[in-house]
Structures are given as structure tokens and as C-alpha cells.
Structure 1
């Protein structure tokens, strides 16, 4: 296994680096990345950014906002959070199997004393019934990355103010607020690991992953970003993570809006109907899929807006590649009149 420790504290730089290393570099073993950010919110690929934020609060506190390539829900991070990412060959991992791909990190946390940490639900790592890590996946060109958060000492009060969670998602989980179900992992660790900096926490986890005693022993496994790498990373940052169109886009006005929460994620479908046909359709939500949902949206433009026509249009399409784990009939019932 190889590793990269990113020096930047800017989420846009780090997501661009992650994307570059996945798509442009070929390693003969899995790669693990670690990065730490100043206060930021990262929305999932399929989410409507404006609807996920407390926009006044985010603007007032100068919280960076960007969008990632992977699906899933919005997350808040600050300097008390450690991000990790595993990059592997897609053929070696089943898309959506978060338990398997995050198990090395869970095992490392167990070594540090958090023996109750476990993958729960579709993509969370919990302890004592509370979430301290959310994870998401993205697949392209034979590679998969699974990246996640580790809340070590995050300001949870800021988190609850910065994110605006839709009530139907809260109700479906039987909770009163996001604050009631999140925690930091720090108090669950052994005493000697409870007063670390985030950087120290990162290094100890890195050693646990490699079963090593000091960083010098694993130095040969570290990949250093070159000047040529950085030039391409800068281009990706401008194309995606610093790009207003990518982060926010222009939300069209739809005449039909249907939203439903499923066990594997929420789908918010918005349709514009003209002359009895779909003129525009957009899927938002924290669902996962191995393919870009825009492909499905393009296929549905021009379809007559009735149940039979939509059923016929969707029948040959493998909807699981866009909405992993969600029944195709349920999706049809969501968007059909």
C-alpha cells in the first residue's frame, strides 16, 4: 500500500489532488490519502447545493463550499476533522460495499481504543449509536475511490448550524436533530490518544494501517506530488472545485417536484413538463450510483409524461447504476404522474 499526506488545508485543492491521483496515476498497490481542511462544506455530486446549506450562516462564517464527484450527502469539516481516501482497482471492490473498503480504518481505530466503532447503515461509521464518519464512493476508468470523514475534534455546534437537513430525512431516522446523532471519536480513544492534534491523530492512524512503529519505517511507501502533478491538479481545481457552475449550477424552475427517502438514500426529482412531454428533469439527493445520473436525465427528455410511457422508457435501463440499492418500480412511481 502507498500513501499521500496532503499539505494543503483547502478542500478544493485536496479534492483535485484526489481526483488526479485516481485518474492519472497507476499504482501497483492500493493507495491511501489523508487530508485536513479549514471549515468547509462538501455536497454530494447529485445534491442541490443551495438547499443543503444554511446560506446566511455559511456566508457569515466564510465557510468554503464545494461539490465532490461522489454521491451521498453534504458534510461539514474543519481542522478537527481528518479525511481519508482509499483508491483501489474497481474490479477488486464491489461498488457500495463500504463495510469492506473501510474495514482497515475501523480496525485501526479499534487498536487506538475505539472498540465500539462499526460500519452501520449504508455508509456511516458509528460508535455508541452516533455517527463520527460518513463515506462515499466514486468509480471511473477501472478505479474506485472511497473517501470518508473522521471527526476527531470537530466543532459540532457549527456543524449543526451550517447544514440544513430536510425534515423528512430526520423523521425517517427517528431523530430530533442532526446534533443528536453525531459525535467526535476523541473521547472514545485510549487516554493517550485523547489530546492529540489532528495531524498527530493522522500519523498514529497511518502507523496503525501499516503496522509500523514510526514514519521512517514506511517512508518508502509515501508518494510525493511532483511539479508536473501539481500543474494538472491546478487545472482540475479550476475546472471543478473552484468553478461556480460545478458547485452551484443554475437550478431550473420545475413544475413537478417529488421527493422520497429510501433506505439507500433520498431522491428529489424535479420535472418541467411542456406539451405533455418532459422538457427537463433533474435528480437531486444523497443517493449513490456508479454512473452519472445526468445520463439518465438526458434519456428522459422528450418522453411523454404518463405512467406507461415512462415505464417503457425506463424498462431497458439499469437504474441501479444511477440509484444503487433502490427498487426500479419505486423510482418509476416517484417520477410518474
Structure 2
């Protein structure tokens, strides 16, 4: 499935018959009794992020809540990360792997069905990161897996990272969220394929990912499954928090996910302006010499995914081509497809061989240096 198809598929939640705001509020009130455990087999990560957001924004969280899930192949980036700096976007498109921006912080992460995810949502007054991680460690011990905390967010086994976490707090609602991954059998080659951008002179504001030595638990425990891990987490959570309510399965037809507010969250998280337009300001500088054309030094200033300024220094013989190219790029989305289209629209203005050759050569070189 292509990225666009993936995102179009998420939009179908909006077409599912919603419920009124009053009904959504009534539904949310039912989340306010004791500790609860939710689980979902839906493969769409935007669905799960929307579940998290809905619970934080509309449910009255007065007791611990745990939500267990896993996604189809996807790269997620933190709220303040630059996808062009963190990912090779053209490879994601080629392989049908979606790019999704989280509302929480943290770095760029590749996830697939071999990567189990836990989400803890607590009243802020009762929220403790270490205690949450102790719940995960206790679940792993139930499976005969010894692991330990490293730093503030990570869990390791045999000195290799098996789990990372990210966090979000809603001070106005006094609710806090902690979600994290557990690597069971994820495609570790994808980390290098999708999360190692080409070396480019791209200076970005925001947060950069930091590499770490990682491993799948199946390397040491070849029979471990997602279901076994979920069962252990459920047992550990019940024991620690006194959760007595039955496990609740969350599906596309659950009352929660049919709520209008939930579908609006899905639409917001799916929208390109959130995925790419929220990128912090950055600049991209690249240069080369094109035989028979000239030396080029290009500087692009990009704000919220849009080229705010384009400057091209060159000794090429046709200055009108360069002037028009700089003008055409301003205001366009930063990315291969949009920039190519902007430059191709200039071709009818330059019918003579020299200017046309200069424009075409510059276009192909410039596009080859930009991910999309």
C-alpha cells in the first residue's frame, strides 16, 4: 500500500456514522471508573494515535489505563522533528511505508507488526515513568526475560535496546501519557533503509534522532509472540493496579472510534499539513559543477514545509533562467515532486537550446538532491 493509499484509508473513519458531541461525552464518562485495559488489532497507527488523543482529551481519566497495540510498517517522527532530516522519504514512498507525525516527543522510529506497543494514560498526580517501566519489566520477567532500565526512557536486554518511550502531558486536563515500543521481531534492516538520510548540507532546527544498539527479543527468545507479551503485560498491570474490569477490544466499530471527535482526530493526524507542514524551519544548501553548464550553489530556506526563499549562485551563462527559477521555487512545497513541477513550468519561456539546456540540467540535478 502506498503512503497516499494508506492515508486515504485512514480517512474512511470519517465516513463511519459519528455520534453527537453529547453522546461522545457520555461515552467518555464511562472511562472514569477503575483501572482499565484496552487492546486493539487494528493495523493503522493513526487509528491508535487517535485513540490516545481521544482518551486524553475526552475521557475522564481518574484511574490508570493501559492500551496495547501494534502497527503495520510505518515511520513515526516526534512532534518537533524534521522528516527530511530524519528519513529517506523517497524510499518510504517506493516501499509503501507511511510517514506519521506523533503528538508526543522523541525521535524517528520504524515500527511494524514485530514491534509491540504499550500506552499508559494516568491522572498526572499518579503518573510515574519509572513505575510504568517497572510494569513492563515485570511483564518481561513473567516471560523469563531479564531486562533493565537505561537512562530515563529505554529498556535493554544484554546491553542492547529493546524498548524506547515517548511522553505527553495535558496540564489543563491533568492527564499524562507514556507510550513505548518493545522489539519482538521487527525488521531492523528498515532502520538503516529508512532512517539514514543521504549526507546533505541540511541545517535543521528541532530534535534529531540518536542512534542506539538495538535487538529483537526473538534473538534470545525465538518463540516469543505479541500475544504472549500482551498477556504478560495484562497480568502485571492487573496485579499492580487492581484492574478487575474485562479486557476491552477496540475496533473500528467501537463506540469510542465512531465518535465524531475521534474521526476528527484521525483527519487531523492524517493531513499533510500536520505530517509535513509542522516541520521546524530549516535550510538546505547543496552545490555541484555541471559540465558545459556551470557551477551551482543552491540555498533553500524552508518554513513549515514550504520554500520561503531560494537563492542560486552560479556562473551559468543565462541569468534569466536562474532568476526565473528562484522566483518559481518560492512558495512551493519543499520536495521532489513540487519543485520539479515548478521548474518544468518554466520550460515554455526558454525555447532556445542554451537556456533550455541550462534549465533542464539544473532541474534534474536539483531534484536529485531533494527527498520527497
Q: TM-score, normalised by structure 1?
A: 0.63
- Cα pair 1:13 1:234 within 8 Å, conserved: no
How far apart are 1:28 and its partner, in Å? 3.4
Counterpart of 1:230 (choices 232, 242, 258) is 258
- Cα deviation 1:58-101 (Å, max 9, x = unaligned): 1111111101111111111111110001101112236xxx3333
Q: Does 1:87 align with 2:115?
A: no
Using a 3 Å threshold, how does the CA distance of structure 1 residues 181 and 12 change in structure 2: closer, same or farther?
Answer: same
Matches within 5 A, 1:129-144: 129-140=159-170, 141-144=173-176
Question: Secondary structure at 1:19's aligned position in 2?
Answer: helix
Equivalent-residue separation in structure 2 for 1:246 and 1:86 (angstroms): 24
Q: Which among 26, 30, 36 is matched to residue 70 of structure 2?
A: 36
Q: Is the CA contact (8 Å cut-off) linking 1:82 and 1:149 kept in structure 2?
A: yes
SS at match of 2:178: strand
- Structure 2: runs of 5 or more not aligned: 1-34, 200-209, 286-300, 309-372
SS in 2 for 1:181: coil
- 1:93-142 CA-partner distances (Å, limit 9, x unpaired): 36xxx333321111211221121x11112311111111111101100121
Aligned residues: 239
In the alignment, is the contact (CA less than 8 A) between 1:113 and 1:188 conserved in 2? no
Post-superposition offset of 1:271: 10
Q: Distance in 2 between matches of 1:74 and 1:105?
A: 22
For 1:219 and 1:105, how far apart are their aligned partners in 2?
Answer: 19
Residue 149 of structure 1 deviates from its aligned partner by 0.3
Q: 1:87 to 1:165 in 2, by over 3 A?
A: farther
SS of 2:245's partner is: helix
Please show how residues 1-337 of structure 1 align to structure 2 within 5 Å: 1-93=35-127, 98-115=129-146, 117-140=147-170, 141-164=173-196, 178=211, 181-189=213-221, 194-211=222-239, 220-223=245-248, 225=250, 226-227=254-255, 229-231=257-259, 232-240=261-269, 242-249=270-277
Residues 186 and 254 of structure 1, relative CA distance in 2, 3 Å threshold: closer
Summarize the Cα distance change of 1:111–1:250 in structure 2 as closer, same or farther, 3 Å threshold: closer
Tell me, yes or no, if the aligned pair for 1:89 and 1:143 is still in contact at 8 Å: yes
Distance 1:21 1:153, change over 3 A: same
Unpaired segments ≥5 residues, structure 1: 168-176, 258-269, 273-278, 280-337
Greater C-alpha Rg: 2
1:51, distance to aligned residue in structure 2 (A): 1.2
Across the aligned residues of Structure 1 and Structure 2, the Cα RMSD in angstroms comes to 3.1
In 2, Cα distance between equivalents of 1:73 and 1:254: 17
